[in-house]
Amino acid sequence: MDKRVVVLASGSGSNLQALLDHPATSGAVRGVLTDRAGAGALERAAGAGVDAEAVAFRDYDERADWAEALAEATAALRPDLVVLAGFMRILPGAFVERWPTLNVHPSLLPAFPGAHAVEAALDWGVKVTGCTVHLVDEEVDHGPIVAQACVAVEEGDDVASLHARIQAVEHRLLPEAVALFCADRLSVDGRHVRIQP
């Protein structure tokens, strides 16, 4: 059975574009939802002929109302997998219990969770950081790790230069992890994700 992937994004959609460009995942992306009406990911989806809709956070007075609207829009797309590709909102537990969800994060988790991971890595003075694709649970940047890749911190790096190099690796790692899910090659045992041959 072909897997249906729904991507949630907040920004320009560069990780979405990586999924749309990858031969193993391009056909699986069946819908894109954003939390901002002006998100660039909407244009990328339209350019690829993929259904896209903004469920704008600012249009709702209560976070619970927004979360319910997002869940309804997601359900309408009938996903087998939800992928967070630069999605900057915390999903409620009921959402991540309903659908398997993958996230890509710009650090080697469990180091530097949260929205300022690249800045935190530079402030800490690490020599190596990277990115992580993980399954999402109710805690922020906490779920079982599917894949990781290292990125060296170079002398003179600032947040922009380091983040750009991390994103280049994310654009490879995220489609690979989604492809493994779509091929039924991931199994989860507690905190351990195993890749089946």
User: Which residues participate in catalysis according to the annotation?
Assistant: 105
- The three-class DSSP label of residue 80 is coil
Instruction: Spell 124-153 as b/e; 16+ CB within 10 A means b.
Output: eebeebbbbbbbbbeeebbbbbbbbeebeb
Strand pairing of 51-54 and 192-195?
unpaired
Strand pairing of 192-195 and 186-189?
antiparallel
Q: What is the dihedral of CA 63, 66, 71, 91, to 10 degrees?
A: -40
